[in-house]
Amino acid sequence: MQTARYVTAWRVILNGMKADQSAEDAGRSRSETESSSDDLRSATRGLREAITELTRAIGGAGAELRAELSAELATASRELTGGLRHGARGIKDQADAIADAALKRQTKTERTRAQLIEAGRQVFAEKGYEAASVADIAEVAGYTKGALYAHFESKQELFLAIFKQAQDSDSSDSDTVSPLMHVTTGEEGLADILLSLEAYLYALRHPTVRPLLLPTVEETLTQTAKEIAHKRTGSSVEPDREDLDTALAFAAQCTFASILAQLLPARWDVNGAAERIANRLLSQ
Give residue-wise pLDDT tens across range 48-82: 676 666 666 656 555 555 666 666 666 666 666 66
- Higher-pLDDT residue of 205 and 12 is 205
Pair (276, 160) in one structural domain: yes
CB 166 within 8 A of CB 196: yes
- Please indicate, yes or no, if residue 264 is contained in any of the structural domains: yes
Residues 81 and 167 in one domain: no
Q: Does one domain contain both 162 and 94? A: no
What is the extent of the structural domain holding 86? 2-108
Domain end (from 53, 82, 108): 108
Question: Rounded to whole angstroms, how far apart are CA atoms 174 and 191?
Answer: 17
Residue 193 and residue 128: Cα distance in Å, rounded?
Answer: 12
Polymer length of the chain: 284
Q: What is the mean pLDDT of the chain?
A: 76
> Are 161 and 278 part of one and the same domain?
yes
Q: Is residue 145 part of a domain?
A: no
Q: Count of domains in the chain?
A: 2
Q: Do 178 and 88 belong to one domain?
A: no
Task: Answer whether residue 129 is part of any domain.
Answer: no
Where is pLDDT greater, at 222 or 45? 222
Q: Who wins on pLDDT, 229 or 33?
A: 229
Percent of the chain surpassing pLDDT 90: 32
CB 183 within 8 A of CB 258: yes
Helix and strand numbers, DSSP H then E, in the chain = 10, 0
pLDDT classification of 6: cutoffs 50, 70, 90:
very low
- Give the contacts of 79 (CB within 8 A, at least 6 positions apart): 14
In a domain, 167, yes or no: yes
CB of 141 within 8 A of CB of 116? yes
- Are 222 and 277 part of one and the same domain? yes
The H-assigned helical ranges of 128-209 are 134-141, 145-151, 155-173, 186-205
Angle at 28 between CA 25 and CA 30, to 5 degrees: 135
| Residue 141 pLDDT | 94
DSSP state letters, 102-117 = HHHHHHHHHHHHHHHH
In a domain, 134, yes or no: no
Position 17, amino acid:
M
Q: Could you tell me which of 33, 36, 18 has the C-alpha nearest to residue 97?
A: 33
Which residues does 175 contact at the CB level (< 8 Å), separation at least 6? none
Same domain membership, residue 270 and residue 166? yes
pLDDT of residue 93: 66
73 lies in some domain:
yes
pLDDT reading at 179 higher than 50: no
In sequence order, the 6+-apart residues with CB closer than 8 A to the CB of 264 are 270
pLDDT at position 171 is 54
Which of 274, 277, 158, 179 is CA-nearest to residue 226? 179
Residue 72 lies in a domain: yes
Per-residue confidence (pLDDT) for residue 143, from 0 to 100: 94
Domain boundary among 91, 108, 125: 108
Rounded Cα distance between 202 and 200, Å, is: 5
The pLDDT assigned to 104 comes to 61
CA–CA dist 13, 45 (Å, integer): 10
277 and 177 together in one domain: yes
Side-chain-facing half-sphere of 130: CA atoms under 13 Å: 7
pLDDT at residue 83 in the model:
63
One domain, residues 186 and 276: yes
Same domain, yes or no: 167 and 269: yes
Where does the pLDDT of residue 176 fall: very low under 50, low under 70, confident under 90, or very high at 90 and above?
very low
pLDDT over 70 at 244, yes or no? yes
Residue 123 lies in a domain: no
The distance from CA 162 to its chain's CA centroid, rounded to whole angstroms, is: 17
DSSP 3-state assignment of 131?
Answer: coil
What is the Cα–Cα distance from 72 to 269, expressed in whole angstroms? 92
Integer Cα distance of 189 and 246 in angstroms: 23
* 254 and 187 in a common domain: yes
Residue 186 gets the label, from left (phi > 0), alpha (psi -120 to 50) or beta, of: left
Higher pLDDT among residues 74 and 192, named by residue = 192
User: Rounded CA gap, 230 and 273, in Å?
Assistant: 24
Is residue 182 over pLDDT 80? no
pLDDT tens, 92-134? 666 666 665 555 666 888 889 999 999 999 999 999 999 999 9
Are 159 and 102 members of one domain? Answer: no
Average pLDDT over residues 226-243: 91
Position 269: which residue type? D
Q: Give the residue, 229 or 169, on which the prediction is more confident.
A: 229
Residue 191, pLDDT score: 85
